[in-house]
A and B are shown apart, each in its own frame.
Chain A
């Protein structure tokens, strides 16, 4: 495993676009930490984001993982371009000739993706922890480390998305096509959601519920649910919106955890099967 990771990081280290995108990612995460200091003037309320209570433990875990989740597209571009450029430079062929087996090649990419997911999770964990320690009103250890399931969900969400990108890169061999495929797939799932929703309304079925958990990007998005309504509840002075009796469940659902784990394995297996079947 160490050798395969070493090989993959060697490729990563000397790829300029990968480095730039990773730096952009880290800078945005760092910037978000500064957001807490920004003063806002909104709806007769004046203060900073931190006054909303969003950086209070344990809410900070939910809020920060939700918002930084969108940034995974930067890392995804890195993965797609690293994978697809192996095809366009034909280095994948050379790697195999030099004595890497097809299995090792996919494994090295998978380990790399796994480590990237761990690292981004770690960065966001540390950033959230710092934010919380600076701004949170509650500092008891028990409260600080509660609701950590959002960090776990964040990791899994990244893992499945990165695996998806890896598969797309292998499938389509060109970074632009692969990124396009990811985007089209995302739209496709959106369309399926709407159709399912319409069917449910018309026939009183529960297709939407299934679709939400079964499709990979749906399950990924569903891991960490939106925290907006929760912010309203905690932000005492801004809490003028009535919830109208709507009940929101913010918890991470096990079915989504299972779904993304299964999808991650499927994507990696498909990538391997594709590579194995193909002539290079």
Chain B
């Protein structure tokens, strides 16, 4: 598998504050990565370092297996950091032309990318007249100009209204479908859950987890189970070896599972024990639950 980015022991200290502390991970081609972490966990600082705008205190990183130097590697990348930065007096096309000059690519794709983010009709208005949503979309168009090998997005939906968030999310999903590698930093978990195959979890500058989404926590999800005779159900549950902690909720018992289960078998067993279930539902643990669990201590 081709490595796009490799980070080794990267650290950034601001005096005594360890904004990023010995973070190491790899980005493989073709996956969609989410960087998760509460505010101030070092997501943006990490991205800033690999994007050549923040000087690392220690550690190293290399793009494309070290075959090109850093600023040339950045020409093959599309990145948006925090908020869109453009020249306020230039219009969309003039701003994008400048990006083409910096990236040393042809200007043919400007209209195509503006079309993709739905800005073609406003392409000749100065950047300063744009709404925040439009600015953010222009930033995405700009990041896509070179058909990047990896797209880096840092909080792309920050401060947008629901329509704006939906629009950006649709664009990201569209890009992910085309097979572009994406690195998405966000604290909005449903956003990450919808598109990411892999996650990197940071807390207070330290990396807690890096790997596929489904392996983040060793767990088997939970079941929601209910019967008319709750006491009998409770007694039955206590005899089963897959049952972990049980929570009595309004709509039934929420049971954490200790191993993989077959819901048909559970239903059969309960029936054999003389209990008729009124509800049985398998629930995968949400990314939010996993994340909270991982970062709580």
Is A89 a contact partner of B86 (Cβ separation < 8 A)? Answer: yes
Tell me whether A99 and B81 are in contact (CB under 8 A).
Answer: no
Looking at B81, B85, B94, the one whose CB has the most chain A CB atoms below 10 A away is: B85
Check if A99 sits within 8 Å of B86, measured CB to CB.
no
A7 CB contacts on chain B under 8 angstroms: 98, 101-102
Q: Is the CB of B88 within 8 A of A89?
A: yes
Q: Is B104 an interface residue (CB 8 A)?
A: yes
Whether B54 contacts A97 by the Cβ 8 Å rule is no
Complex: how many Å from CA A277 to CA B87? Answer: 24
Assess whether A14 is in contact with B54, with CB atoms less than 8 Å apart.
Answer: no
Is there an interface contact between B89 and A15, defined as CB atoms closer than 8 Å?
yes
If A14-B89, A97-B52 touch, whether A3 touches B72 (CB-CB below 8 Å) is: no
Interface residues of B in 208-259 (CB under 8 A from A): none
CB contact under 8 A between A90 and B74, given known A7-B98, A280-B54:
no
Most buried by A among B52, B53, B83: B53
Q: Are B81 and A10 in contact (CB under 8 A)?
A: no
A95 to B54, CA, bound (A): 14
- Which residues of chain A from 19 to 78 have any CB-CB distance to chain B below 8 Å in the complex? none
CB-CB under 8 A from A10, the residues of chain B are: 94, 97-98, 101
User: Which of A6, A97, A280 contacts B79 (CB under 8 A)?
Assistant: A97
Cβ-based interface call for B75 (8 A): yes
Q: Which of A90, A104, A278 contacts B71 (CB 8 A)?
A: A104
Contact of A3 among B87, B88, B97, B104 (CB under 8 A): B104
Bound form: Cα–Cα A277–B54 in Å: 9
Closest A residue to B91 using CB positions = A14
A3 to B94, CA, bound (A): 16
Question: With an 8 A cutoff between CB atoms, is A101 at the interface?
Answer: yes
Of A7, A11, A96, A99, most buried by chain B (CB within 10 Å of CB) is A99
Q: Is B132 an interface residue (CB 8 A)?
A: no
A249 sits at the interface (CB 8 A): no
Are A279 and B104 in contact, CB atoms less than 8 angstroms apart? no
Contacts of B86 in A (CB 8 A): 89, 91, 94
Chain B residues with CB below 8 A from A90, complex form: 83, 85
Q: Which of A239-280 contact B (CB under 8 A)?
A: 277-280
B22 at the interface (CB under 8 A from A): no
The answer on a CB contact under 8 Å between A99 and B72 is yes
Interface string of A77-98 (1 = CB under 8 A from B): 0000000000001110111111
The residue of chain A having its C-beta at the shortest distance from the C-beta of B73 within the complex is A99
Alpha-carbon distance A102/B102, docked complex (angstroms): 12
Are B101 and A3 in contact (CB-based, < 8 A)?
yes
B51 interface contact, C-beta 8 A: yes
Q: How far is the CA of A118 from the CA of B89 in the complex (A)?
A: 27
Distance in angstroms from A34 CB to nearest chain B CB is: 33
Whether B39 is near chain A, meaning CB under 8 Å from some CB there, is no
A98–B103 CB distance below 8 A: yes
> In whole Å, how far is A86's beta carbon from the nearest beta carbon of chain B?
9
**B164 close to chain A: CB less than 8 A:** no
Q: How far apart are B89's CB and chain A's nearest CB, in angstroms? A: 5
For the complex, give the distance between the alpha carbons of A107 and B142 in Å.
24
Q: Does A116 contact B (CB under 8 A)?
A: no
B48:A279 contact, CB within 8 angstroms: yes
A100 adjacent to chain B (CB < 8 Å): yes
Contact check, A279 vs B53: say whether CB atoms are below 8 A apart.
yes
* Chain B residues with CB below 8 A from A98, complex form: 74-75, 99, 102-103, 142
Q: Which of B73-129 contact A (CB under 8 A)?
A: 73-75, 77, 79, 81, 83, 85-90, 94, 97-99, 101-104
Flag whether B55 is at the interface (Cβ < 8 A). Answer: yes
- Bound Cα distance from A140 to B87, whole angstroms: 51
Interface residues of A in 99-146 (CB under 8 A from B): 99-102, 104
How far, in Å, is B110 (CB) from chain A's closest CB? 14
User: B104: which A residues are within 8 A, CB to CB?
Assistant: 3, 99
Q: A279-B55, A280-B53 are in contact. Are A99 and B102 (CB under 8 A)?
A: yes
The answer for the CA separation of A96 and B79 in the assembled complex, in Å, is 11
Q: What are the residues of chain B within 8 A of A97 when measuring CB–CB?
A: 51-53, 74, 79, 81
Distance between Cα atoms of A94 and B142 in the complex (Å): 10
Known: A97-B79, A104-B71. A91 touches B87 (CB 8 A): yes
* Shortest beta-carbon distance from A136 to chain B in Å: 44
**Distance between A108 CB and nearest chain B CB, rounded to angstroms:** 10
Contact at A89–B85, with CB atoms within 8 Å?
yes
* B124 CB, min distance to chain A CBs, angstroms: 12
Q: How far is the CB of A105 from chain B (nearest CB, A)?
A: 10
Chain A interface (Cβ < 8 Å from any Cβ of B): 3, 6-7, 10-11, 14-16, 89-91, 93-102, 104, 277-280
CB pairs A–B below 8 angstroms (28 shown): A7-B98, A7-B102, A11-B98, A14-B87, A14-B89, A15-B89, A89-B85, A91-B86, A93-B53, A93-B81, A96-B53, A96-B71, A96-B74, A97-B53, A98-B74, A98-B99, A98-B142, A99-B71, A99-B72, A99-B73, A99-B77, A99-B102, A99-B103, A100-B71, A101-B70, A104-B71, A277-B55, A279-B53
18 more CB-based (< 8 A) A-B contacts, given A97-B51, A279-B55 = A3-B104, A11-B87, A90-B85, A93-B53, A93-B81, A95-B102, A96-B51, A97-B52, A97-B53, A97-B79, A97-B81, A98-B99, A99-B73, A99-B104, A102-B52, A279-B48, A279-B53, A280-B53
